[in-house]
Structure 1
Amino acid sequence: MTPEELGAARDRTIPDVVAGGLRVLFCGINPSLTTGATGHHFAHPGNRFRPVLHQSGFTPRLLSPTEQSELLRHGLGITNAVARAPARADELSADEFREGGRILAAKVERLRPEWPAMVGVTAYRTAFGRRTARIGPQDHRVGGARVWALPNPSGLNAHWTTRTLAEEYGRLRASVGHGGLTSA
């Protein structure tokens, strides 16, 4: 991607990858400029979301960003807390996160996923006013469903390795319905 292509993606939104009755609806923080430019969630090459989904057993193989619709076959979907792609995360306001929380609650109520999973505990804390939330299942419900807070798979979140991310995402996978992969 050229700097011009990335710059043109600023404030773009991309469609959710969703359907009714998902096992897990992953809710990212916001689209990156790479995601905005490509139209594919978690598209930045340094983002570990897809490798972690595979290593944790959610997908039978590593999917590329262009295969995001394949997630639906496995009962998985993607949305974002804040819909727009900022140039930097510090451009996002607490008000945007709170509004995103209200929108997410309505999506969850309509789509009825087994688990809405916030991919970033800090975004979850801000969006839902849960200042002391920690990684893992929450007692709090969003749109009628219990929430799971996951660590952010961004390469910038170096505290978590791909292995430790996969272990944490695997905890969620083990708690979902059948605890394993679904067939197509």
Structure 2
Amino acid sequence: MTRLTPEELEAARGLQLPDVAGDGLRVLFCGINPGLMSAATGHHFARPGNRFWPVLHLSGFTPRQLKPSEQEELLSYGLGITNVVARTTARADELSPAEYREGGRLLTEKVARLKPAWLAVVGVTAYRSAFGEPRARIGPQERTIGGSRVWALPNPSGLNAHWSTAAMAEEYARLRDASADPA
């Protein structure tokens, strides 16, 4: 991976990162918002240290660990990626409560249109903020969006020290099993 300068990363602020999505996915993973590295490279979860790609593989969603640059391969597995908030920032704590609420509203519209079987929000705090559910816990949620079920997953950021990679993979595997069940 090419090293980006601080100036190149800062120039990524305000860039839009297109979704990797399509109609009728098995799982639409939803990050909080694009980071500078992701916006600069054009690839979701691109920051070194982010555990999304290793966890996706360890949980059995993908047969091998994909690189961020291979994100389009997710579609062949019935998987996709979007974000709660489109605005690129260096850190998620730069987002306002209003941005989360508006992101939840826009995400609801997107999910109703795309109709994935599951929406998986990677970050329970982001889920709580976007959908006004302060008591939500990791795991399946009571909320549905159209016919789509909702699951809150641990945030794969390397900054989330509360979850080991192995424990995170176990939680993602629970979703993988649920998403494979036609019921």
Q: Is the 8 A contact 1:121 1:152 kept in 2?
A: yes
Q: Which residue number in structure 2 is paired with residue 168 of structure 1?
A: 171
User: Which letter maps to 1:12?
Assistant: L
**Cα separation, 1, equivalents of 2:100 and 2:146:** 16
Give 1:10 deviation, angstroms. Answer: 1.1
Residue in 2 that maps onto 1:29: 32
**What pairs with 1:105-144 in structure 2 (closer than 5 Å)?**
105-144=108-147
Between the aligned partners of 2:77 and 2:157, the Cα distance in structure 1 is 22
> Is 1:49 aligned to residue 20 of structure 2?
no
Aligned mates of 2:18, 2:160 — CA distance in 1: 25
| Aligned residue in 1 for 2:93 | 90
Deviation sequence 1:137-180 (CA, Å, 0-9, x none): 0001234422100000000001111101100000000101358x
Q: Which moved more, 1:125-134 or 1:6-15?
A: 6-15
> Which letter does structure 1 place at the counterpart of 2:103?
G
1:59-110 deviation per Cα after TM superposition (whole angstroms, max 9, x unaligned) = 0001001000000000000000010111232210011011111111111111
> For this pair of structures, how many residues does the alignment match?
179
Percent pairwise identity:
69
Partner of 2:149: 146
- Residues 24-76 of structure 1 show CA distances to partners (whole Å, capped at 9, x for unaligned) of 00000011100010010000011000000000000000100100000000000
1:182 aligns to what?
none
Output the amino acid matched with 1:35. S
Is 1:41–1:65's contact at 8 Å kept on the other side of the alignment?
yes
Whether the aligned pair in 1 keeps the contact of 2:32 and 2:92 (CA below 8 Å) is no
- Letter aligned with residue 110 of structure 1: R
Whether 1:102 aligns to 2:96 is no
CA-atom RMSD in angstroms: 1.1
Query: Could you tell me which of 58, 62, 74 is aligned with 1:59?
Result: 62
Q: What is the alpha-carbon distance in structure 1 between the residues aligned to residue 169 and residue 62 of structure 2?
A: 12
Residues 22 and 76, structure 1, Cα contact 8 Å, conserved in 2: yes
Secondary structure, counterpart of 2:144 in structure 1: strand
The answer to whether the aligner puts 1:12 opposite 2:5 as a matched pair is no
Match of 2:41 among 30, 38, 60: 38
CA distance in 2, matches of 1:61, 1:130: 35
How high is the TM-score relative to the length of structure 1? Answer: 0.94
Residues 34 and 86, structure 2, Cα contact 8 Å, conserved in 1 = yes
Q: Which runs of 5+ in 1 are unaligned?
A: 180-184
